[in-house]
């Protein structure tokens, strides 16, 4: 107790002295040094220390030591670290010793694929891990922390945070299994998408967009928690429907989903079914969609090109609850007995010529 007092962490006369001492003793029982508590308290993250301790590396090195073990320079270590989405301040913290193995893996990749491509892939991994970490913390804050109201004893919140982090550490084997399965699926998909294309980055895919109509006004009338729950329903439907048609959601940007599919017909069906699912969800406004098929550029799990821009613009042409498709997709659907109504040719932003679009009923 005296150590806590002399460090400024604890004052016996404070109204919350008992709760504070209980928290400090719990943190010390987790192997956290007083100096760490002082630093965390200064930054307003004392409660988070219990969770941080669960994932803390057992061995750490200075950035100079990492560079020496890897037979490289400090600047290169920091560059790779930055590409991973992590701190690059050499004076801020010691680094996990496991970084030595990570840099060795990076160098092997750079020797095989080139440094620029390997840095790009590292950024994708870092971005994916950052999003997963944010989702994990968000899960704790939204689901367990109502525990975490201001009336809750700090030590209870700290224990819950430590338990949540311990549970998250158990996800690593699952991630390994998922990565293996997704790599097999992506390899199979790539073989089909790139068939006949001389450019290794060119792929032939169906591209679709679905967005929520009037989402800005809709959001203004909802509490943040209700918005999050409603958008979760939209995202879940997009994910499930795309997979049922052998497609994949490329990205979700709030009120809009972009997906790819093996064919234009599949892309149109995904858009149509997703609009229908959104229409059946009372918490969401109506959705509208657009679909096309053609050659686009693939890079780092994303897709680019004129077709992507065209379909992204075309979705704004669709009526609420409806889907518009390009001429190529119309022809594919017509071969399967679907009749579509042609809309007046539209000038779309960024597209040189007016575009023929067709309404999918």
pLDDT of residue 290: 97
Residues 196-360: name the CATH superfamily: Nucleotide cyclase, GGDEF domain (3.30.70.1230)
SS3 per residue for 128-173: HHHHHHHHHHHHHHHHHHHHCCCCCCHHHHHHHHHHHHHHHHCCHH
Mean pLDDT value across residues 84-112 = 86
Beta bridge partners of 155: none
Q: What percent of the chain has pLDDT over 90?
A: 45
pTM: 0.74
**How many CB atoms within 10 Å of residue 150?**
5
Question: Is pLDDT above 90 for 39?
Answer: no
pLDDT of residue 306: 92
By C-alpha distance, which of 262, 203, 252, 264 is closest to 228? Answer: 252
Find the distance separating the first CA and the last CA of the chain, reported in whole Å. Answer: 73
pLDDT of residue 12: 85
CATH 3.30.70.1230 maps onto the chain at: 196-360
Please state the length of the chain: 361
Mean pLDDT value across residues 94-115 = 93
Query: What does the CA dihedral 227, 228, 229, 231 come to, rounded to 10 degrees?
Result: 80
- Phi, psi angles (nearest 5°) of residue 122: -60, -40
Taking the C-alpha atoms of residue 60 and residue 77, their distance in angstroms, rounded to an integer, is 14
Taking the C-alpha atoms of residue 293 and residue 275, their distance in angstroms, rounded to an integer, is 19
Taking the C-alpha atoms of residue 176 and residue 170, their distance in angstroms, rounded to an integer, is 11
The number of angstroms, rounded, from the C-alpha of 225 to the middle of its chain's C-alpha atoms is 19
- Asked whether 311 and 290 are in contact (CB, 8 A), the reply is yes
Would you place residue 357 in the very low, low, confident or very high pLDDT band (cuts 50, 70, 90)?
Answer: very high
Beta bridge partners of 299: 302
Taking the C-alpha atoms of residue 315 and residue 238, their distance in angstroms, rounded to an integer, is 16
**How many CB atoms within 10 Å of residue 72?**
17
Each residue's pLDDT tens digit, 63-88: 999 999 999 999 999 999 999 998 76
The residues, any chain, with a CB within 8 Å of residue 58's CB and separated by 6 or more, are: 97
Each residue's pLDDT tens digit, 127-167: 888 888 888 777 776 666 544 445 578 888 888 888 888 88
């Amino acid at each position: 107790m005296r150590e806590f007092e002399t460090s400024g962490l604890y004052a016996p006369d404070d109204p919350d002295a008992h709760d504070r001492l209980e928290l400090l003793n719990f943190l010390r029982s987790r192997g956290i040094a007083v100096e760490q508590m002082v630093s965390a308290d200064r930054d307003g993250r004392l409660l988070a220390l219990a969770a941080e301790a669960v994932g803390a590396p057992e061995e750490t090195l200075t950035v100079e030591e990492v560079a020496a073990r890897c037979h490289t320079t400090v600047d290169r270590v920091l560059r790779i670290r930055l590409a991973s989405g992590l701190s690059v301040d050499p004076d801020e913290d010691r680094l996990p010793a496991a970084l030595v193995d990570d840099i060795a893996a990076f160098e092997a990749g750079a020797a095989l694929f080139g440094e620029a491509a390997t840095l790009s892939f590292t950024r994708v991994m870092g971005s994916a891990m950052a999003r997963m970490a944010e989702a994990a913390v968000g899960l704790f804050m939204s689901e367990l922390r109502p525990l975490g109201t201001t009336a809750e004893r700090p030590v209870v919140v700290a224990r819950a945070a430590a338990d949540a982090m311990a549970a998250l550490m158990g996800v690593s084997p699952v991630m390994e299994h998922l990565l293996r399965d997704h790599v097999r699926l992506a390899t199979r998909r790539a073989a089909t998408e790139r068939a006949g294309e001389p450019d290794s980055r060119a792929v032939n895919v169906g591209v679709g967009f679905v967005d929520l109509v009037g989402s800005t006004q809709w959001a203004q009338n909802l509490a943040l928690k209700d918005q999050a729950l409603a958008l979760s329903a939209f995202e879940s439907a997009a994910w499930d429907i795309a997979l049922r048609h052998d497609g994949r959601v490329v990205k979700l940007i709030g009120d809009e989903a972009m997906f790819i599919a093996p064919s234009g017909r599949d892309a149109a069906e995904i858009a149509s079914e997703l609009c229908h699912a959104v229409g059946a969800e009372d918490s969401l406004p109506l959705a509208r969609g657009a679909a096309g098929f053609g050659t686009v550029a693939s890079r780092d799990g994303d897709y680019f090109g004129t077709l992507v821009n065209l379909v992204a613009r075309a979705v704004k042409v669709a009526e609420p609850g409806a889907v518009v498709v390009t001429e190529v997709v119309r022809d594919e659907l017509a071969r399967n007995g679907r009749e579509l109504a042609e809309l007046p040719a539209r000038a779309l932003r960024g597209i040189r010529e007016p575009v023929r679009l067709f309404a999918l009923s």
